[in-house]
Structure 1
Amino acid sequence: MWRFVSLISRKLKITAIIASVFIVLMSAAYGAFYIWNKNYKFNNNYVWQPLEDVQSTLNLKDSYNVIVAGTDPEGITAALSAARNGMRVLLVEARDRNMLGGLLTEGGLNTLDLNYSPEQPQLLSSLRQPDFLNKGIFQEWFDQIEGSSFDTNTAANIFYRMVRSEPNIDLLMNVKELVPLTEQSTGDYTTITGMSITKEDGTTVQISTRSIIDATQDADIAAAAGVPYSIGRQDIGDGKSKMVSTLVFKLSGVTDEVWQKFREREGTGVDKMSAWGYGDARKYESSNPQHIKIRSLNIGRQNDDTILINTMQIFGVDPLDPISVKKGLEIGRKEAPLIVDFLKKNYDEFAGLKYAGTADELYVRESRHIYGEYRLTLADVMENRDHWDAIGYGSYDIDIQSTSVGNPGTIMLSPIQYGVPFRSLVPLKVDGLLVVGRAASFDTIPHGSARVVPLGMAEGEAAGAAVKLAYIHKESFRELSTSEERASELRKMLENQGMDLKVHRFEQPDYMEHKDYKGLLAAASMYMTSGNYNNDGWELDKGMNPERFLSKLKRMQAMFPEAYTGSADQALANMENAVTLPLTLDQAAYMLCLAMGSSETETSLEQALAHLQTQNFISADTLVGIADKNNLTNGDAFMLIRDVVEYYSGVVFD
């Protein structure tokens, strides 16, 4: 008995010792992790590398399977994808550039807007890389750069090494002019036959091809070939406004010790390579307030103790006018040192830094949007829709930047995962052409999300693979785009070369369950409302007032000027406190009638609702859904607008 008790006692002592050792080891590990996380995790141990000299191909071929126009990341990815599928590729650049990577390198945009997967790693998440949508060639490149921000030399060199490693790619830089060659085909369509290229030395060559991938930032090749397009916000009735441009500038002297100070700033987020925040920097007083201001700072770190800052907002730049772009650069370069002086005076961590110049190119967010076989809509993004021919997925916020000094811009919503159809890369009117990147077939509002570079790289990878698929089946891109069988083949090809086209499981956002969701979708599609980062800014159950309703009707009229020729302003002419009074159903109906062109003598306040019902411009379901006819909510108002736009104008947002 005593032996048994002694044995148990001995085992308990051993267990206690083991437990104590385990606790000590875990405490030591935690202490080491704490010290590393506090003092070393944010150190930059990457080695700066000089920029490699980009060499153009000396001996061009007479013909290629595909010509890719543009060396932004989307074009590089398209060229790599086509080459790895056995196609002979000419990658050609018509801008004056000395490195590959375009916007990310020449434009200094060294902080990425990323498409995160809805499912992220939970175990040791702080030590693991986030999970991105699509992967493929983007992931291959991303795994070789420093992180969420990167050194532009690193990025450019990796792009060049990837291109140079493919024997099927010929690279031609600094050409003076690219002109697509076409011939008339059936109906109203033209077909690509080649490209006329004026080289840097002024000589012109004509190279034949049956396929061109337009990866220029502004769809220059598509426009020259006759593809229809809209510019900026034309599709929401705003043909004049232009989304703000940015000139990235550089500061030097950012050691690891200085970087630690960025972490100590309240309201600022920091990782090893990126910092963001400084919302009060908006107090900066511009020397040119009509054309320039700054917003909060996005800071990307480099490997030579410099940082690149994306904060400057330059208004009124027309990206399709070289003179306007040149003027925008001049304005930005004049303002950049003044912004740096402001930062040095107001923030201790900037005090010892030095201004080190600007990027060579402007960061332009929006210009042409081609019309393709399918145009991505807000409904696609808002409802996180998949498509039978989806070749890539997005999840970045719909970030619609400012268009004027007094307009702060809009975060429309944050999607979870939506698909981009192959059809959105296939332009109308021209065969043998694909368009990838921000100028693909997207409406202007969803473009605020779909414009980001990682999604454009997924489009480029799909376009490159589609060249091989069209070659195998001897079909046009348009024929491919009409076939579910071909779409399945294309998706299989992309998955086999490393892309992830899985749709993750997630719950749809709450706003889709609201009784007034259809009205919300219509209002958001007409740029009348927004949901912000958390999709909680719609305020569908909040009361609407007459003045705000009038502003919504003016937005509707701007979008459909031919259908709504009247003015609802007169309805508020004798109304006091139009901002604080609730909107009634009769008032809303009356204002809608006036906007449609009815005069006060034709439709009175008392008759307006009956008139709309008689003409079937308002549905019975909408009226039943209004709980208080003397105090309409935002959702009620949106449903009324939605009905009139559908039943009177014939436009459905779905």
Structure 2
Amino acid sequence: MASNRKGAGGASSKGYMLLAVLLLVIAAGAYGLHRWTKNTNHSAGVKPGAVQQLEKVKTVSKPQESYDVIVAGTDPEGVAAAVSAAKNGQRTLLVDGHNREILGGLMTLGWLNSLDMNYGPGEGVLHQRELLNKGLFSAWYSQIEGDSFDVVTAANAFNKMVAAEKNIDVLLKVKSMEPVVEKGDTASLVKGMKLTLEDGSEVTVSAKSVIDATQDADIAAAAGVPYTTGREDLGDKKSRMAVTLVFRLKNVTPDVWAKMRQRAEQDNDEGTGSNEMSIWGYKDMKDYPAVNKERIRMRGLNIGRQNDNTILINALQIFGVDGTDPKSKEEAFELAKAELPHVVDHMKKQYPELAGIELDATAPELYVRETRHIQGEYRLSIVDVLENRDQWDRVAFGSYPVDIQRMSPADTGAVVTVPKQYAVPFRSIVPLKVDGLLVVGRAASYDSLPHGTARVIPVGMAAAEAAGAAAKIAADGKMTFRQMAANKESIAALHETLKKQGMALDSYTLKPEPFMEHKAYEGLKVAVTLGLATGGYNNDFGLDGKSNQQRFVNQLEGFRKFKPAALTGSPAGALAKGSDPKSLPLTLDTAAHMIALLVKAEAGAENAVSVLTERGLLKAETLEAIANKDELTNGDTYLLIRDVYNAVKAES
């Protein structure tokens, strides 16, 4: 469910608002419904269960002086890493610096009780596609109600997995966690953690390796790992995806639930639907008139059922929130709680079946989608996802849509592409400049666009399971994780270990997508990388569609933010006067004039092509490939942008 699993607080950044104009508006994006339902069978095995009592997590009051592995963070990825390490004979400390009493983090305390699943590319048996993420994720998934679940069931399932491992000590409610770092000439080494316990006492715990499973790579950042923030790699550091406060409604009896399902099914839209535990619909909630219009928006409802006649709703989006700043997050809580009574009142008036619902509670923790993106030995790129690439050191597979949630109230969000299957490499959890540390979860080494798919929980748990197993292999081989990442024998051993734990990590080859065989594909790759093109749920990038003057100006303005010092001119100066530029075809001469203005080359429409060619900003082969120079297509414009991008990048 694309909207259910993605990154962090949005800012109403002018740059990204401009970029939003460039994105193709997809129906699901416009409605705010991003649940992935195509070619999947969500109803298999999905059913409500009995209300469970929350089980107490067995913890230690004080950790031992040393462990083989310390896992920081009790989100699903932390649980997977700790259990995997313990299964491989590693004495493991699972520690958390939030005021948590249960395991599961985002799923159980952020109340994000609907999963973004990854399915294989084939049809599968009885049209039910195979889950890509096996191993510990599947072991946990088999214990819950389905793709949406009761949060108590989920917390108990996480607890059972941890409690079954004799090699794990759990330590909760520490007041602070800091890495113990030994500085080196070429790389620092994490040697353990300094912890301030709940009673205020301080202890230093040594470890052969540390796995950072915090949501925001807090340990990695403190240890000196380089990272980007939000959309920084797209030239907009301040923009981040909206944060959400999940809220709970009561009085949702089986009869009310049946009526809600009926409404979702009657919407007759590919982006709406339901099963016994989930509803993704009520798309016109996007039109809710927010009281706080500058900071709050609603989108179509993603609804997860609980076992006690309550439901959890993931739909309230809050903008301008820094997920790494406690004060900013506290402000987000206050904004959301002030807005929610109005939201619920609107729902009761708008939908007859909801007339008797009441606001019951809000999640203890915010659902923050995006903060830091660490720099690792490999940075997963959007082209990796676009081309369904395998990786030799694969540790996880994904296929969830690249779902980019709103950055500001004016934004609609977008689905960049829908992969069939891509691999996450081990190198993407090995940070630069720091040894003795692995980073798993949404803050791993992914560019911000592929983060839109790779940040989902099943992918994170798979990579975390690999991290736990890797700790044993690195220790036995007396090597760093960086050395291990370059050693094919060690990666082969890791694959063998993970397969024994039930993971599926076979290599694969998929035939190229149709858009990859288009003559403009090299241009499309650059346009997608720059955030200037989206294909939606159908991977339709409109390469043969006609461009227009306004669209190309918008694209060039979006392009500017990558090299603002080199692209200082105004391409809008070439727009025809007295007509609607959206209705005017884009000629090659006009397009070249716009580029010339952007780079401040002295040229007019009559000679811009030759001037730009002489300067190496346009290639002769690109010009020859344009079939109709009086009416450029989207594909043609992407090729022009590719030429300018490559030339400007080479000059810098």
**Residue 66 in 1 paired to residue 69 in 2?**
yes
Deviations 1:114-153 (A, max 9, x none): 1112224333x5xx7x521121100000000000100000
Distance 1:651 1:486, change over 3 A: farther
Deviations 1:14-69 (A, max 9, x none): xxxxxxxxxxxxxxxxxxxxxxxxxx999955111111122321342111111100
Task: Report Cα offsets for 1:611-646 as digits up to 9, x if no partner.
Answer: 222233322321121011111111001101101111
What amino acid is aligned across from residue 68 of structure 1 in structure 2?
A: V
Q: 1:436-585 counterparts in 2 under 5 A?
A: 436-503=440-507, 506-536=510-540, 538-572=541-575, 574=577, 576-585=579-588
CA distance in 1 between partners of 2:246 and 2:209 (Å):
35
Aligned residues: 604
Partner of 1:99: 102
2:162 matched to which residue of 1? 163
Deviation at 1:574, TM superposition (A): 4.3
Aligned to 1:18: none
- Indicate the residue corresponding to 1:243 in structure 2: 241
Residue type of the alignment partner of 2:196: T
Q: Report the residue type matching 1:641 in the other structure.
A: I
Could you tell me how far 1:328 is from its partner in structure 2? 0.2
Whether the 8 Å contact between 2:230 and 2:237 is mirrored in structure 1 is yes
Residue identity in the other structure for 1:199: L
Evaluate the alpha carbon distance shift between residue 103 and residue 613 of structure 1 in structure 2; reply closer, same or farther with a 3 A threshold.
same
Distance (Å, rounded) in 2 between the aligned partners of 1:614 and 1:223: 45
Equivalent position of 1:226 in the other structure = 224
Instruction: Confirm whether residue 175 of structure 1 aligns to residue 174 of structure 2.
Output: yes
What's the RMSD between the two structures over aligned residues? 1.8
8 A contact 2:390–2:508 mirrored in 1: no
CA distance in 2, matches of 1:278, 1:507: 37
TM-superposed deviation, 1:573? 7.2
Q: 1:414, 1:532 within 8 Å by CA — same for their partners in 2? A: yes
Residues 470-523 of structure 1: per-residue CA shift (max 9 Å, x gap): 011110000011122222221121111110113556543211111101111111
State the secondary structure of the residue aligned to 2:360.
Answer: strand
**Cα gap change, 1:575 to 1:501, in 2 (>3 Å):** farther
The one-letter code of the counterpart of 1:119 is: G
Matched letter for residue 195 of structure 1: M
Matched residue type, 1:186: D
Contact 2:290-2:297 at 8 Å conserved across structures: yes
Structure 1: segments with no counterpart, 5+ residues: 1-39
Q: 1:335 maps to which residue? A: 339
Identity of aligned residues (%): 50
Task: Please give the residue correspondences for 1:72-221 in structure 2 after superposition, counting only pairs within 5 Å.
Answer: 72-123=75-126, 125=127, 131-187=130-186, 189-221=187-219
Partner of 1:7: none
Instruction: Provide the secondary structure at the position in 2 that maps to 1:64.
Output: strand
If the length of structure 2 is used for normalisation, what is the TM-score?
A: 0.90
Which residue identity is paired with 1:90?
Answer: L
* Structure 2 equivalent of residue 276 of structure 1: 280
Q: Deviations over 1:447-492 (max 9, x none)?
A: 1011111100001001001101101111000001112222222112
In structure 1, C-alpha distance between the alignment counterparts of 2:113 and 2:46, rounded to whole Å: 18
Structure with bigger RCO (C-alpha 8 Å, 6+ apart): 2
- Distance in 2 between the 1:196 and 1:156 partners? 27
Q: Are the equivalent residues in 1 in contact too, given 2:281–2:301 (CA < 8 A)?
A: yes
Tell whether the 8 Å contact from 1:42 to 1:272 is kept in structure 2 after alignment. Answer: no
Return the TM-score normalized by structure 1: 0.90
* Residue matched to 1:366: 370
**Deviation per CA, 1:321-359, whole angstroms, max 9, x where unpaired?**
111100101111122222122112211221222221110
Counterpart contact for 2:48–2:306, Cα < 8 Å: no
Q: For residues 242 and 386 of structure 1, what CA distance do their matches in structure 2 show? A: 28
- Name the residue aligned to 2:621: 621
In the alignment, does 2:47 pair up with 1:47?
no
Which whole-Å CA distance do the structure 1 matches of 2:495 and 2:45 have between them?
39
CA contact (8 A) 2:390 2:509 kept: no
Shift of 1:230: 0.5
CA contact (8 A) 1:65 1:87 kept: yes
Maintained 8 Å contact 1:68/1:212: yes
CA offset digits 1:267-305 (Å, max 9, x no partner)? 241111111111112221111111111100101011111
- Offset at 1:651? 9.4
Distance in 1, Cα, partners of 2:539 & 2:353: 34
Tell me, in whole angstroms, the C-alpha distance in 1 between the residues paired with 2:161 and 2:44.
Answer: 29
Whether contact under 8 Å (2:71, 2:95) holds in the other structure is yes
Q: 2:432 aligns with which of 415, 428, 434?
A: 428
The residue that corresponds to 1:293 in the other structure is 297
Look up the equivalent residue of 1:634 and give its one-letter code.
N
The answer for the alignment partner of 1:611 in structure 2 is: 611
Structure 1 SS opposite 2:618: coil
Separation in structure 2 between the aligned mates of residue 532 and residue 508 of structure 1, nearest angstrom: 18
Q: Which amino acid aligns with 1:169?
A: I
1:273-422 alignment, distance < 5 Å: 273-422=277-426
How many angstroms apart in 2 are the aligned matches of 1:45 and 1:397?
Answer: 27
> Partners in 2 of 1:259 and 1:103 — Cα distance?
25
Q: SS in structure 1 opposite 2:537?
A: coil
Alpha-carbon offset, residue 539 of structure 1: 1.1
One-letter code of the match for 1:643?
A: D
